[in-house]
Amino acid sequence: MAYVTCDVGISADGYAAGPHQRLDHPLGEGGTERLHRWMFETPDENRAELDAITAADAFIMGRNMFSPGRGEWDLQWQGWWGDDPPYHQPVYVLTHYPRADLVMAGGTTFSFVTGGIQEAFDRARESSGDGRISVAGGAATINQFLTAGLIDELRLHIAPLTLGAGERVFDGVPALRLEQMSSRSASLVTHVTYRVLR
Amino acid sequence: MAYVTCDVGISADGYAAGPHQRLDHPLGEGGTERLHRWMFETPDENRAELDAITAADAFIMGRNMFSPGRGEWDLQWQGWWGDDPPYHQPVYVLTHYPRADLVMAGGTTFSFVTGGIQEAFDRARESSGDGRISVAGGAATINQFLTAGLIDELRLHIAPLTLGAGERVFDGVPALRLEQMSSRSASLVTHVTYRVLR
């Protein structure tokens, strides 16, 4: 059985991104750069959690996490992460628009999946040999996986701000029973890891 | 200057109560008893946080926190807490229906305020001598105080479940800048204390 984790940085009111995401505001408007201050300003303090985010055998993400574009692909766009993305494994990108695989340096290959979350999940499970799969975001993708009961371990990284609008984790997801596996406080974030009970 | 704190137990998706609150489900439906398991099952582990909840010189709460009834008062109803409520100080209850003060044992007096949050705040400030005021809930009351900029310190007690519906803290509240004052993990809850920045 694959083991599926999900890391997501959220505001205290549960938003993973503000409204109006676009190229110059990849996480939307409203002070969202503060969502991830802990990553950039206190990385040493949060090394274990940061390392865990990219410690999987395959990744799944929504198109909006890969690209600011919508509609037909701009084939020049190769993701937000430069030549050597931090994944180093297959990454399955959910999209309605077919695109050929994009092989990057360091072992990261982006594959574009048009068959929805089940196809992405099946392909990630196959490529990982039933290993560890990370659902990398954004909120809409996470919510689809939570609703489908496909996430085993949910890691919230709660930042000290509220956004009041945007893309909210858990929106539209039926009530979940969770087990608090661990919780750790750092200076700019509270990390909470839940096991999703079936 | 009075110092205003607010303690609220919430689900991982931010609900302080489920839908359809009533006498036999004071926190609404949907497994909400699990919101407060940490209080009842692991009180010793959470003694500091529990003591802090009732450590104020005056309290303010919404009517729905005081009573399952709506509309005209049932004068037999004296709150959920029995003869000796845990407040031991003046408690201002927001309501649209006037009612005489209710003096309980142990120093708790419930006063019923029909002039909205500002009147409740002014009376709490006066009776406490500009001391420590606790906004005790529920979510609708907390959200009014947050929107008015009247809360200095917000203490979230995050329980391991999601509700998917109900009364949500921060709903309708403009974006807030918060400073994470402290964060502590216990086995059934994560406590996070924020200072609300102005």
- In order, the DSSP letters of B143-190 are HHHHHTT--SEEEEEEESB--SSSEETTTTPPP-BEEEEEEEEETTEE
Is the model's pLDDT at A34 over the cut of 90?
no
Q: Is A167 in contact with A138 (CB distance < 8 Å)?
A: yes
Q: What's chain A's average pLDDT?
A: 93
Closest CA to A59 of A9, A21, A107: A107
Cis peptide leading into residue B138 (ω within 30°)? yes
Q: pLDDT tier at B198 (50, 70, 90 boundaries)? A: confident
Could you read off the pLDDT of B34-55 as tens digits, one per residue?
899 999 999 999 999 999 999 9
Closest CA to A102 of A117, A115, A87: A87
What's the 3-state SS for B10-21? EECCCEEECCCC
Is the model's pLDDT at B19 over the cut of 80?
no
Closest CA to A93 of A69, A125, A122, A116: A116
From chain A residues 128-167, the ones with a CB under 8 A of any chain B CB are 156, 158, 160-165
Is the model's pLDDT at A121 over the cut of 70?
yes
Mean pLDDT of A86-113: 97
Q: Search chain B and give the residue with CA nearest A179.
A: B160
Could you read off the pLDDT of B153-184 as tens digits, one per residue?
999 999 999 999 999 999 999 999 999 999 99
Q: How far apart are CA B139 and CA B154, in angstroms?
A: 12
If DSSP codes are grouped into helix, strand and coil, which group holds residue A45?
Answer: helix
From chain B residues 22-81, the ones with a CB under 8 A of any chain A CB are 30-31, 34
What percentage of chain A exceeds 70 in pLDDT?
94
Is the model's pLDDT at A20 over the cut of 90?
no
Please tell me the predicted confidence (pLDDT) of residue B132: 98
Sort A47 into a burial class: Cβ within 10 Å, 0-12 / 13-18 / 19+.
exposed
Closest CA to A7 of A194, A157, A149, A177: A157
Q: Search chain B and give the residue with CA nearest A173.
A: B164
Assessment of whether the complete model's pTM goes beyond 0.90 = yes
CB contact under 8 A, A164 and B184: no
Of B24 and A196, more confident? A196
Please tell me the predicted confidence (pLDDT) of residue B70: 86
Give kind and range of the element (H or E) at residue A84. none
Residues of B in contact with A16 (CB under 8 A): none
Q: Is A151 in contact with A177 (CB distance < 8 Å)?
A: no
Tokens coding B39: 């209080």
Residue of A180, A190, A194 lying closest to B183 (CB–CB)? A190
Mean pLDDT of B139-153: 97
The DSSP secondary-structure symbol of A55 reads -
Please tell me the predicted confidence (pLDDT) of residue A136: 96
Closest CA to B36 of B14, B9, B63, B56: B9
Domains delineated in chain B: 3-71+82-186 (3.40.430.10)
Is the model's pLDDT at A97 over the cut of 80?
yes
Mean pLDDT of B48-72: 94
Residues of A in contact with B30 (CB under 8 A): 175
Task: Say if A103 is an interface residue toward chain B (CB within 8 Å).
Answer: no
Separation in Å, CA of B53 to nearest CA in chain A: 20
Q: pLDDT tier at A48 (50, 70, 90 boundaries)? A: very high
Give kind and range of the element (H or E) at residue B140. helix B139-147
Q: What's chain B's average pLDDT?
A: 93
Is the model's pLDDT at B31 over the cut of 90?
no
Q: Search chain B and give the residue with CA nearest A176.
A: B162
Closest CA to A155 of A137, A172, A173: A137
Mean pLDDT of B75-102: 96
Please tell me the predicted confidence (pLDDT) of residue A191: 97
Residue of B175, B178, B190 lying closest to A192 (CB–CB)? B190
CB contact under 8 A, B192 and A190: yes
Can you list the alpha helix ranges (DSSP code H) found in B54-96? Answer: 63-66
